[in-house]
Amino acid sequence: MIIETKSPEETFRVGMRLGQKAAAGQVFTLTGDLGVGKTVFTQGLARGLGIVEPVSSPTFTIVQVYDEGRLPFYHFDVYRIGDVEEMDEVGFDDYIMGDGVSLIEWADLIEEILPEKRTEVLIEKDLEQGFDYRKITIHELDG
């Protein structure tokens, strides 16, 4: 599925719709360049789960946990990861195999440890379409 957006608000709403439908145990992987809108999308997804506290990228921790929504939400940002073994240290497998909803920004950096069953989200710019244009490609992998 491909969705095109023309503002951060629209990308937020795409995330929100997915958050409203998200199932326990669902894993979302986000890929796309710096500043493309992964965190904006994540904020929408969190809102769709019923989380109202502000969600920002976990800068000093790899994972941030939110418990106030319809399901627990595990927000990973692995941009600064040095080695995939750091993911073991934070208990990555327990999160992604748990009953919450997991979302991983910069998932391509830990490709080898991603679960086979996941919802891949790729966000891309196309400057010919304008500065605020984003193409969001959502792909369900069945594992």
Single out the residue of 88, 126, 132, 140 in contact with ligand ADP (rule: CB under 6 A): 132
Could you write out the three-class secondary structure of the chain? CEEEECCHHHHHHHHHHHHHHCCCCCEEEEECCCCCCHHHHHHHHHHHCCCCCCCCCCCCCCEEEECCCCCCEEEEECCCCCCCHHHHHCCHHHHHCCCCEEEEECHHHHHHHCCCEEEEEEEEECHHHCCCCEEEEEEEEEC
The single residue among 1, 2, 23, 34 that binds ligand ADP, judged by CB under 6 A, is 34
* Least separation in angstroms between CB 97 and ligand ADP: 25
38 scored as a contact of Mg ion (CB under 5 A): yes
Among 40, 49, 55, 121, binds ligand ADP (CB under 6 A): 40
The verdict on 36 binding ligand ADP (CB under 6 A) reads yes
Residue 54 touching ligand ADP (CB under 6 A): no
- Among Mg ion, ligand ADP, none, partner that 58 touches (CB below 5 to 8 angstroms by kind): none
Is residue 47 at the binding interface for ligand ADP, with CB under 6 A as the rule?
no
Using CB under 6 A as the binding rule, whether residue 7 contacts ligand ADP is answered as yes
Question: Which of 138, 107, 131 minimizes the C-alpha distance to 21?
Answer: 138
Residues that bind ligand ADP (CB under 6 A): 5-8, 10-11, 32, 34-40, 105, 132, 134
